[in-house]
Chain A
Amino acid sequence: MERMQVELNGKMTQLDGVATVGDLIRSKDLKPRMVAVELNGEIVPREKFDEQVLSDGDRLEIVHFVGGG
């Protein structure tokens, strides 16, 4: 695992010790079944979270369901 910079929800973010989408979700204390993840413009299927490797410069959106209204 290495250090990398990704664009996470529109902000440049330094990631340490994170290799996959699954790692990133766990490192943020999020539950995989409560978020949707888009990587470089493509939705990442939930069952691929642990396989999907991140690279320096990736653009990521991690989206939570908003409940107010």
Chain B
Amino acid sequence: MGKVVITPEIIAEHGITPEEYQTILKILGREPRIVELGIFSVMWSEHCSYKNSKPLLRTFPTEGPHILQGPGENAGIVDFDERLAIVFKMESHNHPSALEPYQGAATGVGGILRDIFTMGARPVALLDLLRFGDPANPRTRRLVSGVIEGIADYGNAVGVPTVGGECYFSPAYDGNPLVNVMCVGVIEKDRITRAVGSGAGNLVVYYGNATGRDGIHGATFASTELTEESEDKRSAVQVGDPFMEKKILEVTLELIESNAVVALQDMGAAGLTCSTAEMAGRGGMGIRVDLDKVPQRAANLSAYEIMLSESQERMLAICEPAKLEQVRGILNKWDLDAHVLGELDASGLMKVYHRGELVAELPADKVSENSPVYEREARRPEYMDSIPDAANANLGPATDLKRELLEFLASPNICSKRWIYEQYDHMVQTQTLTPPGDNAGVLKIDGSRHSLAMAADGNGLYSYLDPFEGGKLAVAEAARNVACSGARPLAVTNCLNFGSPLKPEIFYQLSEAVRGIGAACKALNTPVTGGNVSLYNENPEGAIWPTPIIGIVGRLDRDVKPVKAGFPAAGLDVALIGPPARDLGGSEYVRWRTGKVHGPCPACDLDHERRVIEVLVAAANAGWLASAQDCGVGGLGVAVVESLLLGKPGLGLELDLGYVARGNEALRVEMFAETPGRVLISAAPDHYRQIQELCSKHGLPIALIGQTIQKSDQAAEAAHVGPELHGMQEPLLGNHDAELGIRHAPSGLRVRIGHLRNAYESRVSIFPPEKPVALYEA
């Protein structure tokens, strides 16, 4: 396809604007060849170049004494102990998952794993952040099962435990599901390998899967809105092979271990184009590759197709010629071949040959590092001024809070996500101290005395109400979750999921969210080490809720035992750190009850959040905390239930919310409001007094609200509503006779723990049974 005439139509098809085309003409001093146009098209897509978000991302705080690698590499790196460092990053695979949920999600896992082991780190944990449309929408069910199965089949096979995540449903994600995956790895500091090519004459070595036609133009496709026609672009979705991934993981670590390679880069978005251009561009080098040397699994691939293919599980290494045999030996052991495509030179040019012909000749740095950057127009969206207030929401009288609590617990966004995470291997590598379902996943790290905590959070509803507060809250919540385990939050990665930045209202959301994230990261001393931007999450019906997702890693010092969410024993004081609830604005409860969005967005006090973290970390280090649970989505009411259900079987809890005004309406607000910065803790009475002192030293409100009690003396006569509940996989464990009692004038409420568990584990609202189900007998 050497003689393709470049027409305005072809340029437009490549997603290149007329202005960008003028820039290309200027860079080359001539008309581009078709392969070159394809290269510019993928390298200058939002996915690879961040052209619309770069000016915003530059405002993030990115430095700190413990940050070994900030943004700009495959992943961020943070110092862990004398010998080890933590490598972590989050990536989205939203657009592919919308079209082909199984492969889209599977290859999303594959891509982020490669980002981590390409730097020389062994991946030790995955977290999955999922957003789907209305569960009542039949399309949602197909997406849910496809995405979860795709993640499970890939992550399980590679042998990396999934230790956390989120799954949230809202019509705002109809047509545009979000699949964000975070991967965390551990590396010996002297093994850190970067994707910077150096040394003229060094060889460019390709290994892994052969190249096919799959995924051609995946990166440009991921940077446009989804339409009906997108269905036709299905060939742009790649197919994953976790077995090959596991092999290249082991091979790559072995190559690094034996010092056989100078630099490494995986072929992810934009495939061979991106990996060659970036390796050369970052190192200020030139690169020459011969596409006839690329192993191919489809006949008659053109140069254009080879350069733009996004076939999965492919790696590119730079090695000294003298070490080629060593590289080959390691690859051959794993039944892989080393394909030498070309070499680095000092020319600064990226030169691509195919069938003896020069098909592309471009300045590498111009393509990879000097992409166009746009300052887009931002305009505050009008809807923000007409969001109804939760105080006026039609919630009805709060006559039966017990029924409301149970039904709320069974609702899609509140109920236990055990049905998801049990499909993921969360124990392989035998380091998982705190499994999924808790505030943070915690791993003991073999060879270190410290433990590693991680969490990822983001609330699209908050960001829709107020993107600035939403950005702050995403960081604050993830940090709080990590701190609940007793770990100090260290650094942040993020995934910014938004609509089209070309629309001023969307760009406003993006820039405000970025401003909020930056402010929170600064206040909490958790610099941003990198991340991913996923824009154009739109369909003809509109854009998704702006959804910034924040991933945080933290460290539990020395041999401190991780604190968990569950109450571990009877006789503990139960207390609430933080202010009383303010209002139901932005709460899942109001959204669930009314089906509508109500404000105001919960306001995030960063100084308060910082003090909460200090207190939690200090109390955990002193060994005073028996449990800690963040009051997140669903508020205090859901936090209390989770601490009971995750705790020791047979425990009951008596609460007295004496500080709440009389009447069920006030109690309802206290139970379900999502006022930020509230943490439910338990501690032995002696320790509670010390935590109280600690709080007053830090100027934090704390209220004693109850005690855990053992109710084993009661007969096991509790009604067992389990078997007729759809989706129940096993009989409910533990005693069902214990109760949660909330004393409150005039009536309060009492619920059996067994009923709470049935409701929480039921999933009835997501996968409705054929027969209606009673959550409890009246």
Query: Is the pairing of A and B real?
Result: no
B interface, CB within 8 angstroms of A = none
